[in-house]
Structure 1
């Protein structure tokens, strides 16, 4: 009995893997079909360009809507646009018919999603758009549909096979709608020159917010920075390293420029009877790795990991140290 169960489980596992493989393959084929469609359908490509111009030049907001799975995709598109510099929000078609149409103005742009292009719940939104001259961008697969024919810009997607074995559950089709929505959002982001600093404004919380913080926001400054001038004895360097607790001390020249650093490793390499009486420049490692304060925390973390170091000095444009950053500061901030 136990052996038969094991064999049954093995057969069941293989069937599950085959099912998953079919779904992923179907999804891949759908994306490839969309890429080919962009390359070969001039009207589709021009429609995307026109949509970007319409939204980018507009003075209002982007209102995205759809029903069912298209509605879920519409919510995601609106959220992606809103987080990347394009003012956008989702309106449910049913709620729109019960008062929320008043949220939409003539300066806005409507993006309506319907795979068939015949979703009845969108009718009132189309009527309203025509009455108040609100431009409509549709995402559908039916060029001759009611939705496409009543849109200023119809983004007609290629008809693809659904991953659902019955061809009913929106799967590949929903993925293509999402891909086009993401493409619009990213093109608008690039058109506006939306920067990582701008992105941080909309994502202040969580790990993403931490990664988008700048180095100077996390660094230790002023009296916390362990520094000594060239010519000072190593005895003072050891005291400074111990007092500041970073396991390193920066050495500055007569102009205040960071010219080297002394680490615990340098102490071990130069261990001798006269170590404490030697001048710091005889022991320091020259050309230390540094960072500027306007670098992203995530980039600083990657730099530290790449060079297997735990501490970075922050320098200004002249090369003078203005702060120090320990990898523990990044970890505490949630960057990793």
Structure 2
């Protein structure tokens, strides 16, 4: 937590009228982050999922040494997201591509994160590879009241079930006010973007159903949806199904603002493939978080966490996110995705 004076925030937010003679106001800034941690698997073979490669005798030769290195690398990254502003670790962290709760326990107990006292909310999903989503939260800031894993039930053209990740909804009290968080990892583009599009549109439909149900209960609900969507903010899953808006001045009450749409147009990316950048990792939210009254938490700004050490400096993926595994070998890197994050601010006495 860190305080900011009105002059600094007014220049950045652009919604506060400032006169030189008025007294200063102070704000709390808090960080909400999302990170695809690239196959954070333990070394133990689980017969219920397809994790054979990530074992000591598997094709990845996934040893305890490599696993511990990957856990510590991910923890280091998380500990620094938003730190330059808040001088603290993130208050909420959504994660994807984790195998189970055990790896999350190892993650939050590293020297990088232990003092933050994170809690964990996680459900095993029906994904064939066994990769799940989860929410990490600071117990000193957020108190969960309820959590549900919403299953995405989709079937291919042969009426065969496509097993993919759940969407995790966590509702609770965030520093005195109710906020809902949804963590996503939508179906991949395997087989091509067009051919697989219907799967992500179905995922968007489920996300919209969750959000609409919360807004129906409370039209002023603060809802933040985050994840690796395997789509950009301009794709049909966002613009057609979720009907997200990239211009904050056009967002209607109960509707969704996606700051990543404008960032994408400006060239920001969270992952790269064949010299093309995408911003699949996104955080969007309801219009309630855009209001000018900052007596409660409101949106400030969004960013991609892409520090130089997270960028590969050589090899096939030079200039891309420094991944942990490449060409059949452990690289000592971090992830093939950059984390993304937003700041929420609230005026204090």
> What is the TM-score with the length of structure 2 in the denominator?
0.28
Structure with a larger share of its residues in strand: 2
Structure with a larger share of its residues in helix: 1
Looking at both structures, which has the greater relative contact order when contacts are Cα pairs under 8 Å and sequence separation is at least 6? 2
> What is the TM-score with the length of structure 1 in the denominator?
0.28
When Rg is computed on C-alpha atoms for both structures, the one with the higher figure is 1
